[in-house]
Amino acid sequence: MRKKLVIWALTLGFMFLAGSSAYAVPALQLYIEGATYNTSTETWVTGSNNFRLWVLGNVGRVGTIEDVVLAIAFPTEDKEIGSIQFTAANVTEGLLPVLSGQTSSDPSTPTAPVYLTGANVGSNGLPRPQLSGGNYLAPHGIYVEGNSWQTYMLGDFSLTDSPIGDFMLDFPTEFPKAGQINAYDVLVTGYSWVHFDVFNHLEGETRGIFAPFSHDAEGDGGPVIPEPASLALLGLGLVGLVGLRRKK
């Protein structure tokens, strides 16, 4: 009898794992072309200050994701002043790496991100970017005192014109879902690091969703060369590359 129970338990376990893998592709995720996945911080990391950032929405599984917001954290404790420039990219040539004959392309060109708001994180860990429904994005070692953040509107994700896979640990070899990819060419100056998160809500719902912290992105901006304060006041907007930051 005990043996039968063990067999049933194993069977249910395999069924659970199989079901989990079928839904492994998250609703939202981030990827940086050519980046390396850091297993200790569970983050895609690039050492370049000029890179291509991908925001992926699994629209084919979850439906339209409304009012998608990109959050960018960066250091201000050491009085760093910098800027980041975003250029919408149209990836029609399969510019991502080819693995097992697979490529991921983006036939649609996104609009430019629109600045929403920003703040310095206080000693109590607030304010932080606010999700739909009123909850705050978890600190995860990023939204802490000494750092600042800004948020930008990317618009609705409603397309299913791009192959979507699970961008975790490695570039995926399978693209089991169809969704939307917004690609941006990013140039960062003046910040030693920046960190990217993405979030908002499904159509018809108020509960906030966000890219798992195992699917976010960071970069190292290299030597910090402060820019004139007037440049920062121009609000060129988005801020920073993503540095290696250990998450809590």
> Which is nearest to 219 in space by CA: 63, 13, 30, 60?
30
Between CA 92 and CA 73, with CA 157 as vertex, the angle to 5 degrees is 95
Alpha-carbon distance of 91 to 98, in angstroms, equals 14
Q: What is the pLDDT of residue 105?
A: 60
- CA end-to-end span of the chain, whole Å? 44
Residue 135 vs residues 97, 112, 141, 208: alpha-carbon distances, Å: 37, 26, 17, 8
For the ranges 6-10, 164-168, 244-248, the one whose mean pLDDT is highest: 164-168
pLDDT digits (tens, 9 = 90+) for 95-154: 444 434 555 566 678 888 999 999 999 999 999 999 988 899 999 999 999 999 999 999
pLDDT at 174: 81
Sign for the pseudo-dihedral over CA of 172, 175, 177, 181: positive
Does residue 5 surpass a pLDDT of 60? no
Please give the Cα distance from 42 to 207 (Å, whole number).
Answer: 25
Tens-place pLDDT, residues 152-188 = 999 999 999 888 889 999 888 788 888 999 989 899 8
Measured CA to CA, the distance from residue 114 to residue 131 in angstroms comes to 17
Break the chain into its structural domains and give their ranges: 26-233
221 pLDDT band, cuts 50/70/90, is: low
Burial tier of 235 (Cβ tally within 10 Å: 0-12, 13-18, 19+): exposed
- What's residue 14's pLDDT? 31
Query: What pLDDT shows up at residue 104?
Result: 58
- Whether residue 239 has pLDDT greater than 50: no
Q: What is the CATH number of domain 26-233?
A: 2.60.40
- Please write the tens of the pLDDT for every residue from 71-103: 999 998 777 888 888 888 866 544 444 434 555
CA quadruple 221, 226, 228, 229: dihedral sign: positive
- Do the Cβ atoms of 216 and 139 come closer than 8 Å? no
Segment 19-60, tens digit of pLDDT:
334 448 999 999 998 899 999 999 999 999 999 899 999 999
Distance CA 27, CA 61 (A): 8
